[in-house]
Amino acid sequence: MIRVLGLGNVLMSDDGFGPFVVEHLLARYEFGADVEVIDVGTPGLDLTPYLGDAAAVVIVDTVKSQGAPGELRLYRKAQLLRHPPQPRTSPHDPGLSEALFALTLAGTDPGEVLLVGAIPEHVGMGSRLSPALQAAVEPAALEVVTELRRLGATARVREPQAEVKPWWIAGREHVDS
């Protein structure tokens, strides 16, 4: 199984970049049966079930890095494991590196990891991306697709193209409507 995970909070503007890219991918591409594309929100420690036992994982999130908003940064597993986690106070603190560490120790870590990170412009309450991050959604999705194809997985452009309509912007249908 190969998993594509969008991390971030859709109520906190640019922090929702990962889920926005997931919505884009699901609307524009069809994936092979061995690929799962999931908006995982901000799971902290609860990230491990999504990483465990996967052949490969591609993660999309915002990252702290030097550079202009919307610039993409790519990281591999070794880079993610380079820095030691520190004392934690809440279940949100242990992030990706701690989850990867625990799974590596358990022997169920994903074979390959790619983090596609975007530098955020504005993180605060709001359900839309800033223009710089909106412009980065398609390039980030392409990075994901390129990685999936490199891994030998299927990611086919959907015909006809569906509209990208995240529920937190477009609303949703109700049971009785």
Partner 1 sequence: MSRITIDPVTRIEGHLRIDVEVNGGRVANAWSSGQMFRGIERILQGRDPRDAWLFTQRFCGVCTTVHAIASVRAVENALGLEVPLNAQYIRNLIIAAHALHDHIVHFYHLSALDWVDVVSALKADPAKAATLAESLSDWPNNNRLQLKAVQDRVKGFVEAGQLGIFTNGYWGHPAMKLPPEVNLLAVAHYLEALEYQRRANQVVAILGSKTPNIQNLAVGGVANAINLDNEATLNMKKLYQVKDLLDGMMAFVEKVYFPDICAVGAMYADWFNYGKGVPNYLAVPDLPLDGKGTQFDLPGGTIMNGDLSTIREIKSFEDPYFKDNVAECIARSWYDGDWTKHPWDESTDPKYGEWQDDGKYSWIKAPRFNGEVVQVGPLAQVLVGVALKHEPTVRWAMKTLETAGKIAGAQLSPAILHSTLGRHAARMIRTAVIGEVALKHWQLLIENIKKGDVSIYNKPEFKGEQRGFGFHEAPRGTLSHWVVIRDGKIANYQAVVPSTWNAGPRDDKGRMGPYEASLVGNPVANPELPLEVLRTVHSFDPCIACAIHTLDPEGQEIARVKAL
Q: Where along the sequence are the contacts to partner 1 (CB under 8 A)? A: 7-12, 15, 38-46, 48-49, 52, 61-65, 73, 75, 79-81, 83-98, 101-108, 115, 117, 120, 123, 125-127, 167-168, 171-172, 174-176
Q: How far is the CB of 27 from partner 1 (least distance, A)?
A: 17
Query: CB-wise, 92 or 156, nearer to partner 1?
Result: 92
**DSSP secondary structure string for all residues of 120-136:** -S--SSBSS--HHHHHH
- Using the minimum distance from each CB to partner 1, give the nearer residue, 73 or 157: 73
Residue type at 9? Answer: N
The amino acid occupying position 127 is: S
> Considering the complex, what minimum distance in angstroms separates the CB of residue 113 from partner 1?
11
Q: Which is nearer to partner 1, 11 or 135 (CB)?
A: 11
- The answer to whether the beta carbons of residues 133 and 14 sit under 8 Å apart is yes
- HSE-up of residue 73 (Cα within 13 Å, Cβ side): 16
- Residue 19 or 149: the one with the smaller Cβ distance to partner 1 is 19
Which residue bears the tokens 């070794």? 78
CB of 78 to partner 1, least distance (A): 11
The closest alpha carbon to 16, from 145, 177, 128, belongs to: 128
- Minimum CB–partner distance for residue 40 and partner 1 (Å): 6
Pairing verdict, β 29-31 and 155-157: antiparallel
